[in-house]
Chains A and B, each alone.
Chain A
Amino acid sequence: MNPTLKEVYSLVLTQWPLVAGAYALLWAGMVFYVGMALKRLNGLGKQLEVLEAAVARRQAAE
């Protein structure tokens, strides 16, 4: 870490809760949205597998 940053971080910085809040919101929002999308995608993939297997069984029976 460069000396300027070391000194800056050692100071009492009134803005830090806002900076931390901005990054927390950004990452939490992004991770939550992507996580939920991946979870839904996974669930839909499993549902599709079951349905396609059922379709294949029916077509084989016909």
Chain B
Amino acid sequence: MIALVLGGVLTLGAFIGAFFWAGVPDFGFVRTAEQVDSVRYKGPFEQAIDEARYLANYAGYTVEVEADGESVRGELVSADAESVEIATGSGNVTIDAADFEAATVFGSEYGRPDWGQKIFYFHVPVAEISFVVFAFAAFYAIRFLMTRNRDYDTKNRVSMEVTLVFVGLTMATGILWTKAAWGVWWDWEPRLTTYFILTLLVIAYFVLRNSVEDEERRAVYGAVFSILAFIDVPISFFITRLIPSNHPVIEGGGLEGPMLISFILGQIGMIALGYAIYQLRMGEVQLQERIEQAKTLLER
């Protein structure tokens, strides 16, 4: 219960930190014709244009067009494949596209806030805990196969249940982040693919357990399967570091100040919650065992 409260408080702290304290990084940029007062102002920009038709997107911007050996500067009114119209101090000037040589567009550049990054504060800790709890499941599976002690089988099963919860939450938050960052709900890139396989393996573990009636065989099959399935964990974790992948990778020094503190709070909180959920489920299993014992005593 202490771990549950601690996990709840820390994750709530991480949530408040992530939304009300930590800043928002930039994800690309936004350009405008005129400079407006903004904390996300990056500075002026100059864009070289080599064909008249490419100016079509810059109506309202200040442009300097080189045409027929002369230079015209003013506000761009319109542009297409035929001509370019510029408003200058002395009236509008129309330049034939055939005479167009080059142009420079002037404007202001602003950082585009990466709101989707807020998902990362919980998506990453949840994914990490899914790996950690899976590691415990594999450890208990090995211990079971070494000792044939049924307690280890119970711990393995409960660990796999907790893994399933965290894997499900990782997939749900990950899919929403993918849509926010990449504009698609799913992409078969290395991390997503290997994690999807991991999800299927965790589900398959429970399918396997439920399909075997003999308790001893069920425990052995479950243990062997969870050890084999665990092989996918290091593959999924390291794959973004080994082969080209679109998935972001956190390496030392990437976060600072409020972002880092909120992220660490989220991680510790999620560890506490993972431990609390495991203990809750273990407590439930132990109570069920005591109930079975009491029933057996009463039936004698």
Contact = CB atoms under 8 A, between A and B. Distances in A.
B119 A41 contact: no
Interface stretch (B74-82, B141-149, B196-204, B275-283): B275-283
Contacts, number: 101
B23 A5 contact: yes
A51 to B, nearest CB: 4
B291 interface: yes
B139 interface: no
A17 to B, nearest CB: 9
A29 B169 CA distance: 7
Contact of B176 (A13, A18, A38, A45): A18
A2 B23 contact: yes
B4 interface: yes
B284 A41 contact: yes
Contacts of A54: 294, 298
B169 A26 contact: yes
Contact of A44 (B165, B172, B287): B287
Interface residues of B, number: 41
B83 interface: no
A40 B38 CA distance: 53
Chain A residues touching B, range: 35 or more
Contacts of B294: 48, 51-52, 54-55
Given A25-B169, A34-B4, A40-B284, A8 B126 contact: no
B115 A25 contact: no
B1 to A, nearest CB: 9
A32 to B, nearest CB: 10
Contacts of B169: 25-26, 29-30
A19 B24 contact: no
Given A19-B119, A22-B173, A26-B122, A45 B287 contact: yes
Interface in B178-201: 179-180
A25 B280 contact: no
A18 B295 CA distance: 50
A51 B295 contact: yes
